[in-house]
Structure 1
Amino acid sequence: MFRTSGHSPYRSLLVDIKPASEPLTFPDALYITPDSLLASIKSGCVRLPVIHLRKRVNQDDQSRRKLTTLVQSAFVIALLILVLCFLSYCFLLYVDYIPRRHKHIIEVYSWSALWNSGIVDSDTAADEIPSVSFPARSDPEHRLTVDNQSLKTARRLPQALIIGVKKGGTRALLEYIRMHPQVRAPGAEMHFFDRHYERGIEWYRNQMPLTDESMVTLEKTPSYFVTDDAPARIYEMNAKMKLIIVVRDPITRAISDYTQARSKGRSTRSFDEMAFYSNGTHRLIDTSWGALRIGLYARHTAKWLEYFPAAQLLFVSGEGLIADPAGEMARVQAFLQLDRLVTGEHFYYDPVKKFPCLIRPDAPVRPRCLGKSKGRPHPHIHPDVIGQLRDFYKPHNREFYSMVEQDFQWL
């Protein structure tokens, strides 16, 4: 006797079978077809207490459902990718359309108009100016049509160099003068005339930024000032080169040099140990130490005056770049024959670092201060050491003042 459970005979079948003389043994639960089960029952050779049967077709249905779900998911993903690609294509078309649309109406008053508006900065090359429309002015003499292709730019050798001195304020001067829209300068020190001269003049030219003929290309490497071969090499390249030297109280400069070296792990000895040596009976100042030797400004300046006239050398006060940056920048701009565009309104004094920061008037740009190493606190040096160094440098400073006809108030 058998009976079905559920709504279909193919779902499950409960079978109660009488004992047979020669039974066949099967597992307690077996999946077989109904036809084979009926045949086995009729032959009387099946003995099972309970057999649960399910249609094998159900397994195939589950597999087909999984496959269908997988195909649908893949279709949806592919559709989303197509939509994203289409949107990206439309965005690229729009971006390409904007500059072409405004190319014929680009009008600016001057480079300073672009710079003061915050659209370009001192690092922006002339061929990188964005397409922008400014309102026209009635006076045609003040209008300059600018197109990305109209300005002929090239990499030119420097017309001016900041040649020294190390830890005198050269980085501050470079950042200040780069605020001028007609000045371009590489950010890194090239060291061409002291370390890489064998690479050739074309290598040096290729390190320079793009400029047009109205701009001044400037390069800064403070070690040139104390390099014996630098004056002759620079003179050979350009006898009319304008040279800028930032000088600072040689004692303060030496302490700053020592502080930087110690922060980089280059020195473990104290300042006193580096600055002095003993000849057995006296404690003498060690001028072989570079930090002190650089401060002998008159000795180094004399070598430059052998090649260049004094009119081509400008000595900038490192202390003045902090106390009166606008005043020093006025001298620098006049020396480079530039319009005085970098003025007092471009500087903001940071009361924490006690160092000027740069700002742009009438432009939504935050004040930009120099790196963390600027305004770094110096170690305490005993007053007796400072007094000895002061006495040592006094005659050298007087000679330097007389040579450059300028008093820096270090005595």
Structure 2
Amino acid sequence: MNIGFPQLESLVVRRGLCTGCGSCVGICPSAALSMSRVYGEPMPVCTGVCSSCGLCSRICPGNDVPLLELERHCFGRNRKPALADLGVYRNSYNGYARDDFIRKKGASGGVVTALLVHALETGIIDCAIVAGFNTEKPWLTEAKIAASREEIVDAAQSKYAVVPVNMRIREAVKRGYRRIALVGLPCHIHAVRKMQYYGIPRDISVKIKLTIGLFCASQFYFEGTRHILVEWCGIDKMEEIARLEYRGGDWPGHFVVQLRNGETVTVDRHRYVYHMLMPHYKRDRCEMCIDWSSELADIAVGDYWAPQRTGPDYYGTSALLVRSSAGEEVVKSAVEEKVVYLEDLDPDKLCSSVGFEMKKHGAAYRLAQRQQFGWPTPNYHMQVDYTPFFRDFHMAPEKKES
């Protein structure tokens, strides 16, 4: 029996397991699916005639992600058992874009933007599917196909609201692109790897040549953004907004809203992230995700919060885990051409991150709790060890003489 979108909707969407990645929309050969907004959140809906081909169910990362099987397929081996579980990787670095404009424009270090621009200009890729903002409604996020340096740079910085990046995949192929890069969160990458593992749809899966995954502690409901805009910024009419940035201004980046009347409203990052979004508006599906460092991406990138690198002129640096030969090729070329500056990084230092604790321990424990009660949960086909272990959070306890 073929499984079409009605079954996917019943088993995944209506059970709270949809990640909002947009993959089902992006691979539907009948163009029968689209992304709508329900309670302000992107959600797939059937707006055409479903052919029951089953593609959307096969590649959906909402309820089934055979993580170790996909890892073996991508990298030829599985991760080594370790408490500090970061997946398979060849090299670990931290660094920044050498182009000062790109570095300041990025969320922290500008490495993702710099690597994409370099890959585009050297012909490694011919476009990148990235997260941006809607042109007509600039307070809403939107997936973009970037085929120029300007378009890639314009999509820099973090987006703290769901972006169905994968919905643009088939569109990119139809527009003639054959060497596609995709930047996404772990769930976006999970879907891409399922496409490549199953070889479906082949006309799409073989054209994705590079995946850059972002470290992800959680994604947030747009409702959190709306509350910040209304309650903290005094903006009750979204149409007043000309531009919104979640990591705007000087590093580490703040919530910056430019209004059509020329005014600018800024909310400190630590206030809005740690006192509004993180405690109150984390997406429920994210609370069960055990992948923090985009374990299936060719290159995984995230903020690096080493205190010894802070200072008045500090722009931030990016941490990188290079996992595949494709990722290694891009990074090596970018270093040789002086596009990025990188230095070796002890990967264990990444484990002091709040994101690591939230995903590898908190979410893993929450997943186990929900499973024991029979609640809807994703299946990662692996046992995750959330056992606590000592980590130096840059503030090791002082040892006293007995």
One fold, TM greater than 0.5?
no
Q: Which structure has more RCO (C-alpha within 8 Å, separation ≥ 6)?
A: 2
Alignment TM-score, normalising by the size of structure 2 = 0.29
When Rg is computed on C-alpha atoms for both structures, the one with the higher figure is 1
Alignment TM-score, normalising by the size of structure 1 = 0.28
The structure with more helix, counted as a fraction of residues: 1
